[in-house]
Amino acid sequence: MWRRTGMLLALLLVLGTLAPSALAQDEPVFIGTTTITLRHAFFQAIDAGIRDAAKRIGARVETFDPDLSLERQVAAMEDFIQKGVDGIVLIAVDNRALAPVIEEAWARGIPVVTVDAPVFTDAVTTFVGTPNYEAGVMLGRHVREYIEKELGGRAKIAVIQWLESQVQIDRTEGLLSVIGDMDGVELVGIYPGYDRDESFATTMDLLTAHPDLDIIYAPAENAVVGAHAALETARRLDVKIFGFDMTEEAVLGIQDGSILAMAQQQPYLLGQIAVQSLMIALRGNELLGSDWLPSERAVPVIIYTRDNIADYEPDPTSPRL
């Protein structure tokens, strides 16, 4: 269960006070970090947040990109352990298979902070991520409002997602918890959409199989852009998208009304808080006056619609400091 307290804000304020001189009397902290892939803007923004936070406190960062390979990520974790890193920030390719190597790091006294996707082991120091089920609920309320106000309470909905992603599964379950009691709503199915091309093809097939489709729910960036491109190609702008993770295409979609609402994560902030959490675990008493660290730290999404899209600013995908 996510803790909804003022601790997140308080800890962020602490992060803002840290200066490189705070660690001057110590050896620089050595952080190993490995992500799922650096091909996507979301993970690039997390990496930028990690590097900026590390630079601010004088820490050294070594990053490994396994490019979706579980084997390479496990090998990178083993390499970090052998190099004697002080801590590890992990965005796991698989939320079960990484557990043994995290437990190995824990046994060596190396704290591991996981980001974005939880890993199922008590050896994780803390998990920093989006509360995905709750985010799905938030976006689901916009879906329900649209159905009730614009479609007379009746709609056919398709979900396009990476079927193996627990993050996306949680987001979809959040949606279904909001619309599940609507008698006039039919979920025609949950379909594959790992990347843009697959999402495009899936959407084109859906439009043939369900010509009366009203809504596509796309709980990830690639599903959104692929579905949106397919709807434009088919000239089916009557089908509306609700999705996750903003892109330039999503901004244009919100502006022209083809996308009605988007849930935007805060990946740069996720990266910063991951490093801060690691520093609390390593130097809590010395730097922050406390050695208390929650097992989970939630960074909420921001919902963008036509009403507030002018306020949207993309997260940096490269370090700013």
Q: What is the pLDDT of residues 186-204, one digit of tens each?
A: 999 999 998 899 999 999 9
pLDDT score of 20 more than 80: no
Give per-residue burial for 46-64: e unless 16+ CB within 10 Å, then b.
bbbbbbbbbbbbbbebeeb
Considering 264, 291, 313, which residue would you say is the last residue of a domain?
264
Q: What is the mean pLDDT of the chain?
A: 89
Are 116 and 189 part of one and the same domain?
no
Q: ∠ CA 149-153-156 to the nearest 5 degrees?
A: 115
Coil, helix or strand for 130?
Answer: coil
99-117: average pLDDT: 97
Q: Which two tokens stand for residue 190?
A: 């949950």
> How do residues 243-255 score in pLDDT, each as one tens digit?
999 999 999 999 9
Asked if residue 309 is part of any domain, the answer here is no
Q: Which domain holds residue 202?
A: 132-264
> Which phi and psi angles does 18 have, rounded to 5°?
-70, 135
Are 72 and 221 part of one and the same domain?
no
Asked if residue 95 is part of any domain, the answer here is yes
pTM here is 0.83
Cα(300)–Cα(220) distance, rounded to whole angstroms? 16
Asked if residue 12 is part of any domain, the answer here is yes
Are 126 and 273 part of one and the same domain?
yes
Smallest CA-to-CA distance from 167 within 221, 233, 223, 117 is with 117
Are 144 and 240 part of one and the same domain?
yes
Cα(174)–Cα(100) distance, rounded to whole angstroms? 30
Q: How many CB atoms lie within 10 A of CB 101?
A: 24
Asked if residue 319 is part of any domain, the answer here is no
29-35: average pLDDT: 97
Are 126 and 153 part of one and the same domain?
no
Asked if residue 315 is part of any domain, the answer here is no
114 with 91: CB under 8 angstroms? yes
